[in-house]
Structure 1
Amino acid sequence: MTKLKIKAGPYEFDAVLEEEAAPQTCAVFREKLPYSGQLVHVRWSGEGVWIPLGDFDFGVGYENHTSHPAPGHIILYPGGISETEILLAYGGVDFSSKMGQLAGNHFVTITSGQEHLMKLGNLVLWEGAQDILFELAPGA
């Protein structure tokens, strides 16, 4: 089980890659570590923040996909009818776009720091984009 450290805004989280459930997505993402971006608040999906990636192609299809990630779940939408994105659920999410319902690959689960998820979401909502950094945890 590959462990990650995630720094998002002023908060830090421990997480794991869901390698058994989403092996291709995890392998591609792991190759890109450390991975940084900016979180903005979702437009359609509810209580989530996302990293918009335009037409970037991770080269993966659907695996372990869901439209309803739980708080602390991170999904990758590989593109198609909407732009590629990484979404972090901090509360209730019904993953959608202006095109309608979407599904993304659940490939990361936050394992500690969940008490900061709502604070992070509200920070992004009310104060704007926040930096995020995904790194391998020490010893991983």
Structure 2
Amino acid sequence: MSKIIMEFEKGGVFEVCLYEDVAPKTCKAFMEKLPYEADALQARFAGEEFFYKMPLEVGAENQKHPVAGSIAYNADRNWQAICIYYGPKIKAANPFNLIGELKGDLKELQKIGERIWKEGKETVKIKAAD
């Protein structure tokens, strides 16, 4: 299993556990982009979610509805984003490619999500662990 670290500009570091067994194409495309840096933006229209653009050019795979801590890929050609869900109020209209989950304190993740919602975009860095 690949070990990945996701670090937020204003604080917060999480280990990412990828679901390589059930979403191998999406996870492989994700890993090939690393290291990666992007602006995380609030997606409050979908509930307690933030996202960052990351074009992976893969189709539907392991499509599920997310829960807090889930990492999903929106494969819509016009969107192509990694979506991170941080609270119980999730309103994702469609299932996305569920590719993994964040390991760590979900209360801290919720604070980060609220911070992005209230303070605006925040840089997130994703890299393979050393």
Q: TM-score, normalised by structure 1?
A: 0.84
DSSP-derived class of the 1:44 partner: helix
Q: Unaligned stretches of 5+ in structure 1?
A: 96-100
Q: Which residue of 2 aligns with 1:4?
A: 4
Contact 1:12 1:113 in 2 (8 A): no
- Cα distance in 2 for residues equivalent to 1:102 and 1:116: 26
- Cα distance in 1 for residues equivalent to 2:100 and 2:23: 9
Q: Which residue of 1 aligns with 2:34?
A: 33
Contact 2:69 2:85 in 1 (8 A): yes
Q: Which residue of 2 aligns with 1:136?
A: 128
The number of aligned residues is 128
Please list, as runs of the form range in 1=range in 2, the aligned pairs for 1:1-140 lying within 5 A after superposition.
Answer: 1-9=1-9, 10-52=11-53, 56=55, 58-66=56-64, 68-80=65-77, 83-91=79-87, 92-95=89-92, 101-138=93-130
- Cα distance in 1 for residues equivalent to 2:100 and 2:125: 13
Contact 1:47 1:90 in 2 (8 A): yes
Question: Runs in 1 of length 4+ with deviation above 3 angstroms?
Answer: none
Could you tell me how far 1:121 is from its partner in structure 2? 0.8
- Cα distance in 1 for residues equivalent to 2:76 and 2:8: 23
Q: Unaligned stretches of 5+ in structure 2?
A: none
Instruction: Flag the 1:49–1:135 CA change in 2: closer, same or farther, 3 A.
Output: same
Q: TM-score, normalised by structure 2?
A: 0.90
Contact 2:35 2:128 in 1 (8 A): yes
| Percent identical | 28
- Cα distance in 1 for residues equivalent to 2:30 and 2:53: 15
